[in-house]
A and B are shown apart, each in its own frame.
Chain A
Amino acid sequence: MPDAEATSGRAARLPSERGEPAEITVDGRPVGCFAGETVATAMLAAGVPAFSHRNGEPRIPLCNMGTCFECGVTVDGVPLTRACLTTVRDGMRVETSER
């Protein structure tokens, strides 16, 4: 069971049943997560400060339903993949985007 307490300000997993532990990398760094989570959940829970950038400004998910594209990351080489609509897979490679 992941820790419901997190650093102040950060997103936190609630106590709840989750899938099997999994690991993805975000910009090369390992990020632990659970099967069934979206890439957005994994990154928010890990405290990744920016999913994408617009003109240098950091952005994280705004809509969580596929309409804003602020969560656009590169997943296994495919750019502008919406983290909020993508389910994690063990070994998935995620790169945040600069723009």
Chain B
Amino acid sequence: MSAAHDLVVVGAGPAGAAAALAAADAGLDVLVVDEQRAAGGQILRTTPPEFGGRRKLPTGYPWAGELLDRARSHPGIAWRHGATVFGILPVTADASSAGGADASAGPGSADGADASAGPASAGFDVLTSDPADPAGSGRVRARRVLIASGAYDMPVAIPGWTLPGVMMAGAVQGFLKSQRLRVADRVVLAGSHPLLLIVADQLLAAGARIEEVAIARGIPSPVELLRALPAVPGHVRLLGELAGCVLRLLRAGVRISTGTVPTEVLGDGRVQGVRLARADRGWRQTGPARTVEADALVLGYGFHPSTELARQLGCALDWDSAQGGWIVRHDAQLETTVPGVHVAGEPSGVAGAEQSRAEGELAGLTIAAALGRPVPERALAGARRRIRSASRFSGVVQRMFAPRREALLELATPATEICRCETVTRSTIDGFLDENPFAGTADAVKLACRSGMGPCQGRYCESAVAGLVAKARGTGVGEAGRFAAHIPVKPVPLQAYVALADDPAEVP
């Protein structure tokens, strides 16, 4: 199966859906690929159609229903759901029978659409794999690609975190929202991100016993709250929702401990208890730990952007801890340092659904303009305004809830598994760093210790590995670097490669 699209969007969350819609409205032929079964990304997950009943989208995002409905029914947008993009290959100019794919200089180009002034790319081959449907595997030709791959819950390595029953906040919420499944009876939640309180409230409503909510930070100080005020207009509903969660939890008698961190997960074959301890303002353990019995520990310290495709393509990334770690560098048009590759939503910096959607809209418009479609200046200005407005709020959230990474790293003892896949402990990594004083990068540790070489491909250990390197060398995590990503950016079955060979990807 071969096809050529003006734009292939990876990810059907608020960013990808908004981008696809804006681009298709401007006349582009768009394909959206997402591993999930349905559009909506993480935040707009709903029960599957087989469950019947009405679609229930989260409150607080009044635009969500219309965005998804319009995008799904748009004749200019094709969808490939349940398929993983496992790599993207730039097409060299002579390999392309389509000729120069770009019309960056064409009339109607928006301000600065010459961001891709470099060698005009002849497009990209997007490699997809769908284990359940051979038609979803193969390569798709695109003139431009948009990486709207979202974010995943930030991993925090603590002793025992590999025990069955330790789950990320996003996982627990996903099971509740889209599967109507309560993952456990007695639950401890630990973290620092506001999502943790929302999940605790939802678990409570689902009949779970919330044994304790352990928040790493203290209660926001008056100064912090004052600083937050200018960001509030337009987001009152979101803050109100959060306040409602806290109220319901307290009313139900749930213990919410501030300045508290988890120091160990106990259990034999599954979670049976969690050790919690007091922490200072810098999140460092101060007092002795106490045991709380539970069947599950839910972790919610924030999010890391999903940047594997940007890495594999060679896009420049920058380290920004408050924005989620490694984020994809981009210009005002949301084009990355690789011409023709754009980014929107969490990979440009974790900023929440509102900003993801606004960035998606801008990316869709600027890509359409770069491909020579007329795009009204008014539409671009509107998208930019929405990004600015959303970023005032997300900036406050980022500052207020920024993870204290050094302190979290110290929760890992020598025996704690840093790399879950290859079961590499902290002592193995520290030992290697001790014996090899010239090893100064995360990738060096990966090669020597195998941390980052398993099926998750480093998504769950990179930040801790880089943190250990930074600590040993007295540098920052940004200097310790990151793991490189190669095709496949996620493991795919052999059949996916067979599909590639079958498919010479002729451009019609």
User: Does A associate with B in a complex?
Assistant: yes
Write the residues of chain A forming the contact surface with B, with a CB cutoff of 8 angstroms.
4, 6, 8-14, 16-20, 34-38, 40-41, 44-45, 49-50, 54-55, 57-70, 72, 75, 78-81, 84-87
Q: Which residue of A lies closest to B493 (CB)?
A: A78
Name 6 extra pairs, CB < 8 A, besides A14-B182, A18-B180, A62-B166. A19-B48, A62-B460, A64-B171, A67-B459, A80-B455, A85-B36
| Complex Cα spacing A59 to B207, Å | 25
Min distance, Cβ B418 to any Cβ of chain A, angstroms: 13
* Residues in B whose Cβ lies below 8 Å from that of A38: 179
* Residues in B whose Cβ lies below 8 Å from that of A4: 207
| Complex Cα spacing A18 to B297, Å | 27
B131 is contacted by which of A55, A70, A81 (Cβ under 8 Å)?
A81
* Residues in B whose Cβ lies below 8 Å from that of A69: 421, 454-456, 490-491
* Residues in B whose Cβ lies below 8 Å from that of A70: 420, 456
* Residues in A whose Cβ lies below 8 Å from that of B269: 49, 58
* Residues in B whose Cβ lies below 8 Å from that of A86: 131-132
Say yes or no: B421 contacts A50, CB within 8 Å. Answer: no
Given A41-B175, A60-B164, A72-B455: A13 in contact with B180 (beta carbons within 8 A):
yes
Interface of A: prevailing SS: loop
Given A9-B184, A16-B180, A55-B423: A87 in contact with B51 (beta carbons within 8 A):
no
Say yes or no: A36 contacts B162, CB within 8 Å. Answer: no
Q: Which residue of B lies closest to A34 (CB)?
A: B50
Q: Which residue of B lies closest to A61 (CB)?
A: B171
Say yes or no: B171 contacts A63, CB within 8 Å. Answer: yes
Q: Pick the most buried of B52, B53, B171: most chain A CB atoms within 10 A of its CB.
A: B171
B185 contacts chain A at the CB level, 8 A cutoff = yes
Q: For window 142-156 of chain B, which residues contact chain A by CB distance below 8 Å?
A: 152-153
Q: How large is the interface on B (under 10, 10 to 19, 20 to 34, 35 or more residues)?
A: 35 or more
Write the residues of chain B forming the contact surface with A, with a CB cutoff of 8 angstroms.
35-37, 42, 47-53, 82, 84, 131-132, 152-153, 162, 164-168, 170-172, 174-176, 179-186, 206-207, 269-270, 295, 306, 420-423, 454-456, 459-460, 490-491, 493, 495
Min distance, Cβ B132 to any Cβ of chain A, angstroms: 7
Given A41-B179, A70-B420, A80-B491: A65 in contact with B170 (beta carbons within 8 A):
yes
* Residues in A whose Cβ lies below 8 Å from that of B153: 63
Min distance, Cβ A76 to any Cβ of chain B, angstroms: 9
Q: Which residue of A lies closest to B52 (CB)?
A: A17
* Residues in A whose Cβ lies below 8 Å from that of B176: 14
Min distance, Cβ B213 to any Cβ of chain A, angstroms: 19
Say yes or no: B82 contacts A85, CB within 8 Å. Answer: yes
* Residues in B whose Cβ lies below 8 Å from that of A20: 50
B51 is contacted by which of A10, A17, A44, A57 (Cβ under 8 Å)?
A17
A selection of 7 A-B contacts at a CB cut-off of 8 Å is: A9-B165, A9-B184, A36-B49, A64-B175, A67-B459, A84-B174, A85-B82
Say yes or no: A36 contacts B47, CB within 8 Å. Answer: yes
* Residues in A whose Cβ lies below 8 Å from that of B175: 11, 40-41, 44, 64
* Residues in B whose Cβ lies below 8 Å from that of A81: 131, 493
